[in-house]
Amino acid sequence: MRKNIKKVLVLTIGIIFIILGFLGLVLPFLQGILFLVLGLMLVSLCIPEVRLFINKHAKRYPKLHPIIRKVESWILKFIGEI
């Protein structure tokens, strides 16, 4: 039960960050790319298709791969196992 609540909470926060990211692409005072990346990383913990999308682009741009892994490990350390 607790795991499901945590998963729903992470997914909700991820979607909110994605929405803020899209708003940030238009509004000058929000960092849109930062919110999009964080939102996608959070959503990818719950939805495997998003994880595949991120992995596909990480392979396409090899310099991003270690950064993505570092951010993912930081997020998992912060929120714990899902």
Summarised one tens digit per residue, pLDDT across range 16-55 is: 999 999 998 888 888 888 899 899 999 998 898 998 988 8
H or E element at residue 72: helix 64-79
Q: Residue 16 has which token pair?
A: 């909110």
Single pTM value for the model: 0.82
Cα separation values, 43 from 8, 11, 27, 29, Å: 10, 5, 23, 24
What would the DSSP string read from start to end of 5-68? HHHHHHHHHHHHHHHHHHHHHHSTTS-HHHHHHHHHHHHHTT-HHHHHHHHHHHHHSTTHHHHH
Q: Which residue has the higher pLDDT, 80 or 1?
A: 80
Angle between helices 64-79 and 32-44 (to 10 degrees): 70
